[in-house]
Structure 1
Amino acid sequence: MTDQRPQPVERELPTEEAHDLISLVRELIEREIRPNAAEEEAAGRFPRELFALLSRSGLLGLVYPEEFGGGDQPYEVYLQVLEELAAARLTVGLGVSVHTLACHALAHYGSKDQIAEHLPAMLGGGLLGAYCLSEPSSGSDAAGLTTRAAREGDGWTLTGSKAWITHGGIADFYTVMTRTGPDRTRGITAFLVPGDASGLSAAAPERKMGMKGSPTAQIHLEDVHVPDARRIGEEGQGFAIALSALDAGRLGIAACSIGLAQAALDEAVAYTAQRRQFGHPVADFQGLRFMLADMATQIEAGRALYLAAARLRDAGRPFSKQAAMAKLFCTDTAMKVTTDAVQLLGGYGYTADFPVERYMREAKVLQIVEGTNQIQRVVIARHLAGPESR
């Protein structure tokens, strides 16, 4: 690996405070994340102590109100922080995105009492969250979930299993979507479940091709009692809450994807500048220069797309279609750019001595999480042509 790295990305930021925030994040990255990223990913270690630091630094609640420990930052700024974190280590960037997603239901649909009781600890108290929608038999068909919540006394009893849960088994709280009625979409209710609840357990973490430092596991709920005070929103409102969270979460995945792609491009630029063949740096050869140009163009286009969607959200305007477009384009870009980076490094790109092989393995999952890219096309098409006639 070479130290001849391109300059950091010039950020489009709305305030001086946002510029200071990005500078703080970059300092933290160079001190706490980048030096150990490759070693910790190879060993499959989750940096829990780092997330505690991020919590103390105010980076786990950037988009939430300052009065509850958040940063009151617009999505336009938050997503660029995510991009920086993901470029240094995807486990960290994606982890912050998932935690933000797990807080969404309470922050936007919780009662004043619920928010006052739980949100400050979730944002700045060192806690880590997880979001539980998918199940072993319902992934893309999220409304087909079967985990049930039955009324029992002053609360509910939750029974079932959730699958593909980032931070599964290590989270301090889980935002769990359950079935409380027969209607596919209006029979789903959200609950805030403590990580140490009796009857809640985690299976062994999944064995994945990438993101080995980020635990992904099934969560089993066996007669887990949850008081009604931990029900989020109205009974039957859970599916609308879930979709609202996913729109915002897709922007997080888009930003992480561009961060990963940028890291791959930076590595490829640095390597091709110092690697010599036939008496010249390989970056002198037009075929390779054109590959670098295409990679950079795709990254800039993806960044512009997710920022445009974020600005719509910040303005209170509909952004669901744009979020799906950003997730689709940015994750496909990450896959293409990381694959090209491996090609540009040749045989070295295929070895663990350089990080681009890890970037390529990590990029694949981004096309799957928060709704596969096939689902994103369904969402976009519905906005354009309406629901399918069938």
Structure 2
Amino acid sequence: MNVAEDSEHIVMLRDTLRRFIEKEMPRDQVSRWDKENMFPRDVHDKLVALGLTGLTVPEEYGGSGRDITATIVTIEELCSRSMAVGCAYIQSSCYAGLNLVEVGSEEQRRTLLPRVASEGLMFAYGFTEPDVGADLASVRTSGRREGDELVIRGSKRFCSGAAISDYIYALVRTGPAEEKYRNLSLVLIPPDTPGVVLEHQETMGLKGGGTFDVSFDDVRVPVKNVVGGAEGIGQGWPKLVGPGLDVEKIEVAAMALGIAKGAIGDAWAYAQERVQFGKPICSIQSIRHMLADVKTRFEACRLMTYSAAALIDSRRPAAAETAMAKLFVCDTARDIVLTCQQILGAYGYVRDFDMERYVRDILVMPILGGSSAIQRNNIANLLKLPR
């Protein structure tokens, strides 16, 4: 039995999500969201009404309690149909909910977590910069304290969902750059604050929330917007950054899993409907083998993802396992989707077929949230492989 399906509440959650997807996320609408690069706010609001953004929020703050496995199930199911909806869900339940629970001040938890559960409040990650990618501790965006305010100056790149979010969750340097892993802070910056400029980046996939370059020109925010409160100044590494990034690895794995699930479902159906030489192509041995392979690889991906989620739910160390899941699932899911595209032949390359969207979306998964090369480095280091 799959580790994600051995409890009644997870089975019920999947059933609820599948009914929701068929009713609120029909294929023609999903295609329109992708083509118009639009975020369906009304659908996000309906997910909130179901209580799904509260899966990472403790009951005392208006949620249903921290349940990482249920959160990952939700990401997988939503992303099997639409990244526009799935990514926004992550920005709410994970980027906002999980991070606030782990490292927010009590005031931030008290004021913002109920909004995650009841309004679907969203964060956009502001980590990457034009010259800073995997080496996050080298960020150059600065935060200078002036009384009860921080003055932010610098720029961020690949800030996905910035325009639809309530806050940019930005990593900034609040002290001398010479001490690389010190003097870093996380700051909540509303994107409509004077001095914040968003510049849209046109990307191949992940349509919906948009991806942005963000510049901060002497942007002023209250010191209380520092994650963890005033005591959080200079505490951004690794105390604040670490928890969110570990969970993000399996969030991305779940996204890839969802895309692969959608592609397999379409390829499986197409192979039974498409007739050549007087019979369905699923009777052709090479097609049968391709379908058997993608189903097998998908099950391996699923087991790795939910095994890592179970470790996090049980509060056990999971850094190596989440890195392994991110590496294996994203690389394997990419291969699964490309194989499914081959099964559809020329139709897999046509814009009117969902398979073309799956291909565009899956190609970024081995890059998003830490590239496959970085994960390999992380795994070797976490397992203490001598240099």
TM-score range normalised by the length of the shorter chain? over 0.9
Q: How does 1:297-312 map to 2 (within 5 A)?
A: 297-312=296-311
Question: How far apart are the structure 2 equivalents of 1:227 and 1:387?
Answer: 45
Matches of 2:50 and 2:217, distance apart in 1: 36
The amino acid that maps onto 1:260 is: I
| Aligned twin of 2:233 | 235
Does 1:213 pair with 2:208? yes
Moved more, 346-355 or 246-255: 346-355
- Alpha-carbon distance between aligned partners in 2 of 1:31 and 1:10, rounded to the nearest angstrom: 26
Superposition deviation, residue 56 in structure 1: 2.5
After TM superposition, the structure 1 = structure 2 runs for residues 84-233 of structure 1, keeping only pairs within 5 Å, are 84-103=77-96, 104-181=98-175, 182=177, 183-203=179-199, 205-233=200-228
| Residue 50 in structure 1 maps to residue 43 in structure 2 | yes
3-state SS in 2 of match to 1:226: strand
Structure 1: how far apart are the matches of 2:7 and 2:65? 13
CA separation of 1:105/1:214 partners in 2, compared to 1, >3 Å: closer, same or farther? same
Distance 2:207 2:87 in 1: 12
Name the Cα RMSD after superposition: 1.8
Which of 73, 76, 81 in structure 2 is aligned with 1:83? 76
Asked whether the equivalents of residues 122 and 129 of structure 1 are also in contact (C-alpha less than 8 Å), the reply is no
- Whole-Å Cα distance in 1 between the matches of residues 60 and 186 of structure 2? 24
Q: Contact 1:173 / 1:195 at 8 angstroms: preserved in 2?
A: yes
1:68 is matched with which residue?
A: 61
The alpha-carbon deviation at position 98 of structure 1 amounts to 3.0
Tell me the TM-score normalized by structure 1: 0.92
What amino acid does structure 2 have at the position aligned with 1:355? D
State the one-letter code of the partner of 1:69. Answer: G
Q: Which residue of 2 aligns with 1:16?
A: 8
In 1, the alpha carbon distance for the partners of 2:262 and 2:216 equals 39
Contact 1:101–1:131 (Cα < 8 Å) also in 2? no
Q: State the identity as a percent.
A: 35
Please say if residues 102 and 243 of structure 2, whose CA atoms lie closer than 8 Å, have aligned partners that are also in contact: no
Distance 1:124 1:236 in 2: 31
Question: How far apart, CA to CA, are the structure 1 residues paired with 2:354 and 2:142?
Answer: 43
* Separation of aligned partners in 2, 1:11 and 1:319: 16
Deviation at 1:136, TM superposition (A): 1.1
**TM-fit CA distance, 1:49:** 2.2
Distance 1:125 1:214, change over 3 A: closer
1:71 is displaced (CA, Å) by 2.6
More deviation in 311-320 or 348-357? 348-357
The answer on whether the counterparts of 2:163 and 2:209 sit within 8 Å (CA) in structure 1 is no
- Asked if 2 retains the 8 angstrom alpha-carbon contact of 1:98 and 1:166, the reply is no
For 1:66 and 1:162, the matched residues in 2 are separated by 34
TM-score scaled by length of structure 2? 0.93
Please give the per-residue CA displacement for 1:51-102, whole angstroms capped at 9, x wherever unaligned: 2222222222312212223231421221111110000112222222233332
Partner SS for 1:72:
coil
> Once the 2 structures are TM-superposed, how far is the Cα of residue 10 of structure 1 from its aligned partner?
7.7
Shift of 1:353: 2.8
Report if the CA contact (8 A) 1:64-1:73 is conserved.
yes
- Secondary structure in 2 matching 1:140: coil
- 2:262 aligned with 1:263: yes
Distance 1:100 1:166 in 2: 15
Deviation at 1:208, TM superposition (A): 1.0
Q: Is the 8 A contact 1:149 1:179 kept in 2?
A: yes
Q: 1:368 deviation in Å? A: 1.0
Asked if the contact 1:58–1:69 (Cα under 8 Å) also holds between the matched residues in 2, the reply is: no
Total equivalences in the alignment? 379
* SS state at 1:220 partner: strand
Amino acid at match of 1:89: S
